[in-house]
Amino acid sequence: MKIYDRPGFPNPSRIRIVLAEKGLGPQIEFVSVDLIGAEHKQAAFLAKNPSGVIPVLELDDGTLISESTAITEYLDNLHGHPTLTGTTPREKALIHMMQKRADDELIDPIGIYFHHATPGLGPLLQAYKSPEWADRGEWGNRQKAKALQGMRYFNQVLKTQPYVAGGKFSMADITVFAALNFADAAGIAFPEDCIALQAWRAKVSELPSVKNRSGQNFVPEDLKRLGF
């Protein structure tokens, strides 16, 4: 199998944690995609994923699977023993509910803020942004506020349970963890009052599948090149 991604960025980080959890890393060939060079917006990559985003999983038979949640579902269920996406109807429903909230309340607004209220990934990607958004600082500030609200929501959740979807580490935890790292890279300060979320983050960062793979407080090398 192949995965088209770029190390350090939030969605690739999610899948690399999944691979580590499932012990599938040795079966994967990683193909690096040049985000700063806008390779993911060119015809060759768009033929693999019309959405123009990473990661993309390519199976040995040529099947292409994009979207991090779909890739996670495939990898988690590959050998019939899911550990990250639920085993009972209740578990599956709760995990997918919290996964959607993690995308909607954290990953997505942080991504919009990053691409439209900061230098983003540099000038070659400017042509693929929405100028009306880029010219409106208010839009970026609203997305930043939404992300901070999302952090406070998950802080409340984690006051009463050990993990985002209940008693077990799941796909939803991976997404929230990656989102918080992305917020660091985008310059969104962690709210001081989110004590439960901070404690959860410290706990998750020490899990074997997470430690030294996603990088708490990281800034991807691509962003360092742009002066972040």
- Look up the CATH number of the domain holding residue 9: 3.40.30.10
**What's the whole-number mean pLDDT along residues 95-121?**
89
- CB-CB contact of 7 with 15 (8 Å): no
Task: Say if 114 falls within a structural domain.
Answer: yes
- Look up the CATH number of the domain holding residue 141: 1.20.1050.10
Same domain, 33 and 107: no
Q: Label residue 173 exposed, middle or buried (CB < 10 Å: 0-12, 13-18, 19+).
A: buried
| Full residue range of the structural domain in which residue 138 is found | 89-212
Task: Say if 61 falls within a structural domain.
Answer: yes
* % the chain with pLDDT above 90: 73
Angle between helices 137-157 and 195-205 (to 10 degrees): 80
d(C-alpha 12, C-alpha 102), whole Å: 16
Same domain, 71 and 162: no
Same domain, 113 and 12: no
Same domain, 67 and 118: no
**Total-model pTM:** 0.90
Same domain, 128 and 166: yes
Taking only the tens place, the pLDDT of each residue in 14-73 is 999 999 999 999 999 999 999 888 899 999 999 999 999 999 999 999 999 999 999 999
Taking only the tens place, the pLDDT of each residue in 203-227 is 999 999 998 664 444 455 665 554 4
User: Which residue, of 49, 77, 105, is where some domain finishes?
Assistant: 77
Same domain, 70 and 124: no
Q: Can you give the pLDDT at residue 118?
A: 72
Q: What is the DSSP letter of 191?
A: P
Same domain, 195 and 137: yes
Same domain, 144 and 67: no
Same domain, 46 and 135: no
User: Which residue, of 54, 77, 100, is where some domain finishes?
Assistant: 77
The structural domain count of the chain equals 2
Cα of 199 vs its chain's centroid, Å: 20
**What's the whole-number mean pLDDT along residues 90-97?**
98
pLDDT band at 120 (very low <50, low <70, confident <90, very high): low
pLDDT band at 154 (very low <50, low <70, confident <90, very high): very high
